[in-house]
Amino acid sequence: MLFNSPEFLLFYPTVFIVYWLIPNKSIKLQNILLLVSSYFFYAWWDWRFLSLIAFSTIVDYILGLAIADSEGKKRFYLFLSICTNLGLLTVFKYFNFFIDSWIRAWAVFGYEISQSTLSIILPVGISFYTFQTMSYSIDIYRKEIKPTKDFIAFATFVSMFPQLVAGPIERASNLIPQIINKRIWSHKKFKEGLLQIAVGFFRKVVVADNIGALIDDVYNMPELFDSSNILMAVVLYSFQIYYDFSGYSDIAIGTAKLLGFEFKQNFNLPYFSSSITEFWRRWHISLSTWLRDYLYIPLGGNRKGTVKQYRNLFVTMFLGGLWHGSSWNFVIWGSIHGLLLAFEKKTNWIPKTYKFLNNMCVFCIVSLIWIFFRAINFNDTLLIFKKLFSSNYGQLYIGDSNILVTTFYGLGFALSFDVYLFAKRIDLENLGSKIGTPSFIVFMTFILMNILMFYSSAANFIYFQF
């Protein structure tokens, strides 16, 4: 079920009303409702996916208790948890990728191996909830948290529908205490959540979807377009993926807040970064901090010398790229970021004199690296780079002029809003409670009118493919 679908607009208000009308705000009944609703939400795509999330939940619940209760074998139980979660990812996300890569590697040496692949459907959200349950087991092993004996609470933590499909990747230390303890209705949280949901829908429906309609043909058939159109697509894709994914996160955080939960911030105006390091502190924060805490630091972080720090940065981003998808394009995308992060540790390669120029430099670099992320295959990636750095610049091809006008209309408002947040140093998560009621009503009316005016169909969110 998509956030931007008519089904969700019926589903969520129903859950919201029943949730807050439960007698005495019973935590047990509220959690059961959340769990059932989350499984219904997830089953809307394919009910068969439920067996995987249920299996992962049961395994990590049992192993979490075992890790805490068995000092002598806790490393073995942690190993089982990690192998189970990574095993699910390997089979359902990477099996055919590894087989295909193995065959191609042998073909380089002249050996032909018959290809055998499986028709495997990638379960939506599997990359997110496996990381979430895996971090739970690791935190218990590190004695940073204690396991919960409330199975309903743990199952709700794994499957809570606002963040189930594309994050944020929540930590058990933040979310489970909120699930176990009583939630209290808050007018302040209601305003904050409602505004963030509206902004999320605006970013997705008015900005990201219209950019996609304008540039998808260029990325899908780059051989048909000249350098001007390629450049436009490269720049606009940076905004599309940001407003699409941050829009999803806004809706997720907002819907959770209306139910009494506080999710962690997932985006903090990443294109205002003055370095690649800062970019990763602002972009997909729940994933970048997960990679830092559960991969980079265990590898040694910056504690074992400069060379090993560079290695750890590269390995972390290499695997972070692979996490995004079973394609060498994603691996290359992550590896380039890893090399740049390591290079930044070695030298101040970006000038610090003028911050605006610094921001523009980072934006241009990130936009170029996004080509690996968006291009359909490596050949298309090379073609796009070739055209970008050629002299074949001519007149832009404009398809539907209405889409062009709509794109820059929505993008203009979205960028102006981001500049306002950055200049005032306000987090979107808190904005709803910082503005007065009249301003709140005017702002919400403007956003809702735009959403209704530009909504056409429920387009998938980009990060659903991961």
Which residues are part of the catalytic machinery? 324
Place of tokens 């540790």: 345
Q: How far apart are CA 141 and CA 118, in angstroms?
A: 35
- What residue spans define the domains of the chain? 6-184, 188-274+350-465
How much is the pLDDT for 102?
Answer: 46
Alpha-carbon distance values, 13 to 21, 37, 140, 278 (Å): 12, 12, 36, 38
- Average pLDDT of every residue of the chain: 87
Reported as a single tens digit per residue, the pLDDT across 52-65 is 899 999 999 999 99
Q: How far apart are CA 237 and CA 326, in angstroms?
A: 21
Sign for the pseudo-dihedral over CA of 218, 223, 225, 229: positive
**Beta carbons of 211 and 407 less than 8 angstroms apart:** yes
**Beta carbons of 314 and 342 less than 8 angstroms apart:** yes
Average pLDDT over residues 412-418: 94
Q: At residue 129, what is the residue type?
A: Y
Q: How far apart are CA 217 and CA 233, in angstroms?
A: 9
Which pLDDT band, with edges at 50, 70 and 90, does 258 fall under? Answer: very high
**Closest-CA residue to 80 (of 159, 170, 140):** 140
How much is the pLDDT for 95?
Answer: 61
CA 299: distance to chain centroid? 24
Check: pTM over 0.75? Answer yes or no.
yes
Reported as a single tens digit per residue, the pLDDT across 100-118 is 554 455 455 556 655 555 4
